[in-house]
Amino acid sequence: MQFHHYGYVSGDPRVQPAAGVGIDRPAELPDAVDVLIVGTGPAGMVAAAQLSQFPNVTTRIVERRAGRLAIGQADGIQARSVETFQAFGFAERITAEAYRITEMAFWKPDPADHSRIVRAARTVDDEMGISEFPHLIVNQARVLDYFAEFMANSPTRMAPDYGFEFRSLEVTGEGEYPVMVTLLHTAGPDEGKERVVRAKYVVGADGARSKVRESIGCHLAGDQANHAWGVMDVLAVTDFPDIRTKCAIQSGAGGSILLIPREGGHLFRMYVDLGQVDPTNHGAVRSTTIEQIIAKANEILHPYTLDVRNVAWHSVYEVGHRLTDRFDDVLPEERGTRTPRVFITGDACHTHSAKAGQGMNVSMQDGFNLGWKLGHVLEGRSPESLLATYSAERQVVAKDLIDFDKEWSTLMAKKPEEFEDPTELENFYVSTAEFPAGFMTQYAPSMLVAGPKYQDLATGFPIGKRFKSAPVTRVCDTNPMHLGHHATADGRWRIYVFADAASPGTEQQAPSPATDFAEWLANSPHSPLSATPSGADRDAWFDVKVIYQQDHTNIDINAVPSVFKPQVGPFRLTYLEKVFGTNPNADIFELRGVDRGGVVVVVRPDQYVANVLPLTATADLAAFFAPLLKRRHTAGQPLTV
C-alpha cells in the first residue's frame, strides 16, 4: 500500500484524503449528477465503489430501503470475487470471517437400503489449483458493507442515498445532463413525494423486477423450469455428520438438498427440492411453509434428523433462466449512431438459479466492468465509444452463465436412478470448476482486447481472460509476493514489462530490448504515458511494472530505468515498489509461459488481459491505445479530442 507520499500519515492508511467532489460532499442528493446508480445490490455497489476512485466524477447511488441490507439472499463467493475483493482492499478481512469451502461431499441412496443416504464421494473444491484465492461463504449484506466502507474511505466520500425509489426516466438528449430521472421518497419527512434528478448516465442495478430495465424497453426472455426449491438459513441440532461441509444430497425417496455451511460456525443454508410445479397453479408451491420445508428436509436426510431451533431467513423459488438481449438503452438499429446513456446490471439483465452460486459473483463483475469505463469517459481519459463495450462484453458472459446453470440445475433435480453414470454429478462439479470459480470469462477482440497475434509469447496470460497472478520478489525490500495482488481498483491500466535476459547494472548496462522499451515508454509522444495530464504523477493513469529474469540479489535497482521508478507526490519521491525479480521457487516466466526474449502484457483496470506484445512492438502498443486515450492536457483542464 502506497501512502506517506503527500506527507506523514498517522491514521488508517485505507482512508484516502478527500478530493474533488469529496470535499464538502453534500449530504442531500443533488439535482444533477454525473452518474446515478439505482440499487445497492452487488452490481450497483461495485460500480459505485469503482467510481468513488474518480474524484471529479459526481456519483450517487440510491436505494428504496431506509437503510443497509440486514440479510441478503446470496452467500456464495467464488475465487474470482475474492480476487476482486483483493483489488478493493478487503479480501483478507472478509476471508477471516467467512466460511471457506475446501471439499464437497456427495450423498446418495444406500445401495443396500434406498430409504437411507450414505456418503458416496468427496471432491476437493479446487483440485486443479485454478486460483490462489479461496471459495467462501458469507452473507451478501457483509459484502455490501465492505464496499460501502471502501466508498466512504475514498476521495469522493461516497455513501448510499437511502429512501429513494426509482419511478421512471426519460433520455431527453438535452443539455449537459440529458437523462431525467423521477424518484419517490420512501422514508423520512418527504415520504411519498416525488423528486427529479438529472444525470449524464444512469445505471440500473435494481434487481429482477427492474424498473430501469422497463424504462429502456428491455425485457427478460427465457424459460421457467417449473421446478421449485425451498431455501432456509437455520440454526439446528442434527446428527448428520457433514453438516459443516458443502454437500449435494440425493435421496432414494426422491428429492435433493444442496447444503451450504455458513459463516459463524453454526448457521447453514439448505436448498430443499420441492419437486415439480403445477404450471397452472404456481401459487400453491409459493405458499409452502417453513414447517413443510423442514419436514421435506428431514425426509431427504433419513436416517439422520434435523431439529431446527431458529430460522434466520427462508423463501421458496422456482428455477428460472432469463436474459435481456442488450444491457443498455441503444436499440439494435441505433448501434454505431449514438452511445449509451442508461445501463442495466446484475439481476436486472440476467436471472438464474441460486444453486450454482453465480448470481452475486457475475453481477459484481458487471459492476466492475462498467464502473471504470464510466470513470474514464467522464474524467476525459477515453472517448464515449468505450461505453458500448459494456453490453457487448457482459451479455455474452451472462448467456454462458445461463447455459451452465441450466445444466447444473437439471443435474441437481435428477433422481438417482435417472443418472446413466452414478458419478455424473460429482464429475460435472469437478470438470467444470473453472467456470463457477469465475475464470472462464474471455472477452472477444474489440477496442479493449487485442487479437491473438503475439499470444504465443505469454501463453499463461490468455488475451481477454483475467490476469492470472504468480509469485515474484520485490527488489527494493526483498519481499516475496503475488504480482497481480497489487493491481488495486484505482482505475489505472497495468503495463507489465517482462524483461529480456539482460540484468540492469551488469555489463556496463548494455542496451537491451527492455531498456529500449523503457526509453520509448518514458519519452515518445506515441507512448500511452504521454496522455497523462501535465502536473499529475507519472503513474496516475498507468501502473508500469518490470519483472526481471534474475532473482532480486542480481538486480541493481539504481540501474533500473526511471520509468519503472516514477517520482510521485508533491515531494517527488522515488517509488521503488514497481521493480521485481523472479521468485527462486516459482519462476513466473516458466509458470506463465513468458518468452525469455521479453514481453509486454497490458492489463485493463478490471484485471483482464488486453494485449500481449514483444518489447520491440512499440508501434503496435501505440496503435492499441490510440482509440482509448485523448490528447495530453493540463491537470484540471478539460480534454479536447
Indicate if 357 and 386 belong to the same structural domain: yes
Q: What span, in angstroms and rounded, lies between the C-alpha atoms of 394 and 323?
A: 11
> Looking at the domain assignment, is residue 375 inside a domain?
yes
Kindly state the helix (H) or strand (E) to which residue 291 belongs, with its residue range.
helix 290-301
> Would you report the helix, strand and coil content of the chain in percent, each value rounded to 5?
30, 30, 45
Q: Are 122 and 159 in a shared domain?
A: no
Give the pTM: 0.92
Helix residue spans in 380-494 (DSSP H): 388-413, 424-431
Beta-carbon contacts of 530 under 8 Å, excluding residues fewer than 6 positions away, are: 524, 632
Q: How many domains does the chain have?
A: 3
Residue 173 dihedral angles phi and psi, to the nearest 5°? 75, 10
Are residue 568 and residue 607 in the same domain, yes or no? yes
Residue at 571 is within a domain: yes
DSSP per-residue string spanning 565-625: S-EETTTTEE--TTEEEEBTTB-HHHHTTB-TT-EEEEE-TTSBEEEEEETT-HHHHHHHH
Domain match, 352 and 256 both: no
The answer to whether residue 434 is domain-embedded is no
- Residue 7 in any domain: the answer is no
Q: How far is CA 179 from CA 202, 215, 304, 343, in A?
A: 7, 12, 58, 12
Please check whether residue 24 lies inside any domain of the structure: no
Residue 19: its pLDDT value, please? 95
* Residue 421 included in any domain: no
| Long-range Cβ contact pairs of 302-305 (< 8 A, separation 24 or more) | 302/115, 302/116, 302/117, 302/251, 302/253, 303/115, 303/116, 303/117, 304/117, 304/238, 304/239, 304/240, 304/241, 305/238, 305/239, 305/240
Q: What's the DSSP call for residue 403?
A: H
Q: Are residues 213 and 236 in the same domain?
A: no
Domain that holds residue 113: 102-132+225-320
> Could you tell me if 362 and 81 are in contact, meaning their C-beta atoms sit under 8 angstroms apart?
no
Same domain, 536 and 406: no
174 burial via Cβ count (<10 Å: 0-12, 13-18, 19+): exposed
pLDDT of residue 33: 98
pLDDT of residue 398: 86
Strand pairing class (609-614; 573-574): unpaired
Same domain for 212 and 107? no
Question: 494, 603 in Cβ contact below 8 A?
Answer: yes
CATH classification at residue 52: 3.50.50.60
Of 381, 414, 447, which residue sits at a domain end? 414
Predicted local distance difference test score (pLDDT) of residue 638: 40
Q: What is the pLDDT of residue 637?
A: 41
Q: Which three cell numbers stand for residue 509?
A: 548496462
Between CA 542 and CA 597 the distance in angstroms is: 23
pLDDT average per 10 residues of sequence, the chain (641 residues) = 80 92 96 98 97 98 93 84 96 96 94 94 83 92 96 98 97 95 95 97 95 94 76 96 95 88 94 80 78 96 97 85 91 91 95 67 94 98 96 91 75 74 76 73 96 98 97 97 96 98 70 94 96 92 97 95 94 94 96 98 98 98 95 42 29
CATH number at residue 493: 3.40.30.20
User: What's the start-to-end Cα distance of the chain, in Å?
Assistant: 34
Number of neighbouring beta carbons within 10 Å of residue 631: 10
Q: Would 401 be classed as within a structural domain?
A: yes
Last residue in a domain, options 289, 320, 351: 320
- 597 and 561: one domain? yes
Contacts of 221 (CB under 8 A, 6+ apart): 322, 323, 324, 325
The domain spanning residue 260 has which CATH number?
3.30.9.10
How many angstroms separate the CA atoms of 285 and 323, rounded? 24
Q: What is the residue type of 309?
A: R
- Same domain, yes or no, for 586 and 490? yes
Q: 127 with 67, same domain?
A: no
| Phi, then psi, of 530 in degrees rounded to 5 | -70, -15
CA 512 to chain centre: 38
Does 593 lie in the same domain as 481? yes
- Does 440 fall in a domain? no
Q: Are residue 270 and residue 209 in the same domain, yes or no?
A: no
| Cβ-based neighbour number of residue 332 at 10 Å | 7
Of 305, 320, 335, the domain-final residue: 320
* Contact in structure between 541 and 639 (CB atoms under 8 Å): no
Cell of 41: 445490490
